[in-house]
Chains A and B, each alone.
Chain A
Amino acid sequence: MQPEAQVPYAQLEVAVLVSVGRHPLTGRARRADQDARGVELALSLDKARITLLHAGTLDEQSESALRGYLGMGLPQLTLVEQPPGADVVPALADMLDEARPQLVIAGERAEEGEGSGLLPYLLSERLGWPLVSGLAGVEKVENGVATLLQALPRGQRRRLQVRLPAIVTVDAAAATARQSAFGPARRGEVEVETAAVVWDEAQSEWSVAPARKRPKRLKIIKATSARERFKAAAAKAEGGSGQVLTDVTPEQGAEAIFKLLKEEGVLR
């Protein structure tokens, strides 16, 4: 109907940053869960040209993991060759600066290594693009402005508008990734590009161990005497501080409840 409005945005350039994940139980390399959700989000966009971008090495394990993304129905993946222990931010920033996609999608954090979730933020600061974190979905992209749905805790959602180009990270509330098909995964191409290597020196000074179970917080009773200790141990439901309204009409009671709900901001 309106071809002139659609022509400039016929193709939305989307780059998805993918990483090699780690299965939480077996420890094997796999496609990372959140990155796969990111690919799924990109696939759900209308008229998008998707490029997959990964920075790392190509070996047997990582290749099978990366082909997991290709099996979602994408023909090609660009791999920026970076040895383990390298800082991938400069290489990725250079790549993105060159390719200039309109939307960059990344997972929230890696399943391997430091996993601090800092990479999209560093890229955003370096490229000067706005960043929106914790996305549940993209509602629409129009005239260079994307309307996004951000996932908040407690199942809430918030609508945001951001001017493209932008970097977004995907929340675990986004749509689950489709299965990876074996045939397309085999047929897909992994294009290897070389880039300058910047070493991450700080990381060598850390000591990394498998996660220890965190100590459970104890209920500390600060009592100076036996009577107080006994009282604390034998205490039933706390309270007494609450306000009790007796002999009120239903309207008065409802009024009080309404005021509290209003104060807490749970009424919309």
Chain B
Amino acid sequence: MSDILRRDPRKEWIARNRLHPEHLSVLAEFGEGVSAATEWMGPNGVLRRNPHAVGFMGPNGIKRIDRSGAQQGGPAATGMAETKDSRRQVTIDDPAFLVAVVPDMSGGRLSSHDRDLLGLARQLADADGERPGAVLAVVFGTHKEEAFDEAGVDRLLHFDDILFDGHAPEARLAALAVVEGELAPSHWLLPDSKLGGADLGRRLAARLQERPAAGVWQIEPDATAPLGWRCTGRGAAGTSDIQRALPRIVLALAECAEPVSETRHAARPLALAQPLPSLLARIEDLGSVAVDPAGVALAEAEFILSAGNGVKEWEGFHHAAKVLGATEGASRVAVDDGFMPRDRQVGATGTWVTARVYVAVGISGAIQHLQGIQSCEKVVAINVDPGCDMIKRADLAVIGDSASILAALVEMVERQREEKRDAA
């Protein structure tokens, strides 16, 4: 290329004319930055802004400044407003230490308790910027979780074996003991929950002969403690707070820390070098026992079939609940009209439910009702009105007549059970 400096008088003219529609993009092309000139520190230490350098031309030729932050114009003024994931990607290649977390994975996904625990693990791992630690998640059995990276997991150790399905505390403990021998994490964090974490954590502590801290809900840095942290945990059946140096094994309560939200992590799969030892299980799992769904308290039911004003055929609804094995719930209208008892009412004035799956049949979704189902994981709506609020909340919405959809569902479930029985 020749080194003759070519000038474009037209562009120079545009660059001088700050009212020209292409002014900002031409300025950016010329290099000297819009960015350099927009903000500078004034002599009194106050940040000064040049209002002429920001903003864009509105449709009728008037300059507009959008202060919402969604700034247009400027260098790439062609309207390519791509929504970028603003979370920082963090990759830790050789960690100084490992923080092992054994999530409950109830229903095959990270629960909110597990996420809190991972947040706590991140606190421990990221405390010292010079020697960052990595968070290792140890997951047993099959799972459906895809967002380990968003939850703050650097390394993922997945024991995918039929051995670990169901209630297998001894097999899991043996696997954790191998992890301890091979990777020697500096912390073990387990949820102090009824879903298995409390049991497994105590077994692990007994096996490793470490004294754990149970019911931990807060940790603070403390230079005098051996591990550099101090923790506060509940003692004496929740009536006292015990403050002590953080031990290696921690059983933490829900909401012990904020879940990770600002960063994404690698969640790199990891495998153990040695195979797991085979052992004879002394506890045999004979499977879950059918419990009467009507006897389960509404607040702790796992699967709720709830009826509202749209249900006309109550026989069919009760039959469906029975066949599906769901606990029955109702909206306020259904209760007021006398179709369901008062103790089955879901919502702000009734029960706040925590079901994993909530099927709303003919419920339009008043705000009081939606409050009551806030903590439900999956909401299915069956309704005739496609514009109602319940449809907006639902993960799956079917528009149609509830009676016929429920009848079809019941038939499908019964047919499938029949097939299973024939096969067996």
A residues with a Cβ closer than 8 A to B are: 22, 24, 109-118, 121-122, 124-125, 130-134, 147, 149-150, 152-163, 166, 202, 205-212, 214, 217, 220, 222, 224-228, 236-251, 253-258, 260-261, 263-268
Contact = CB atoms under 8 A, between A and B. Distances in A.
B393 A237 contact: yes
B391 A242 contact: yes
A257 B400 CA distance: 13
Given A115-B236, A116-B235, A248-B400, A237 B389 contact: yes
B: contact size bracket: 35 or more
B237 A153 contact: no
22 contacts: A115-B235, A116-B214, A117-B214, A130-B283, A153-B194, A155-B295, A157-B288, A159-B288, A160-B284, A202-B211, A206-B242, A214-B217, A220-B258, A222-B261, A237-B365, A242-B379, A244-B399, A245-B396, A250-B408, A253-B382, A264-B377, A268-B325
Contact of B396 (A116, A149, A237, A257): A257
B394 interface: yes
A163 to B, nearest CB: 6
Interface in B240-292: 240-245, 255, 258, 261-262, 282-291
Contact of A254 (B287, B367, B389, B408): B408
Interface string B387-420: 0010111111111110011111101110000000
Contacts of B68: 225-228
B191 to A, nearest CB: 12
Contacts of B255: 214, 217
Given A114-B235, A130-B170, A162-B284, 6 more contacts: A134-B199, A156-B288, A206-B242, A227-B68, A242-B379, A250-B400
A114 B242 contact: yes
A162 B194 CA distance: 20
Given A155-B297, A227-B69, A260-B396, A267 B359 contact: no
Given A116-B214, A155-B295, A159-B286, A239 B301 contact: no
Given A117-B198, A121-B206, A266 B302 contact: yes
B378 interface: yes
B205 interface: yes
A159 B379 CA distance: 30
Contacts, number: 256
Contact of B237 (A109, A162, A240, A241): A109
A244 B244 contact: no
A207 B195 CA distance: 30
Given A160-B167, A239-B393, A242-B393, A248 B398 contact: yes
B107 interface: yes
Contacts of B140: none
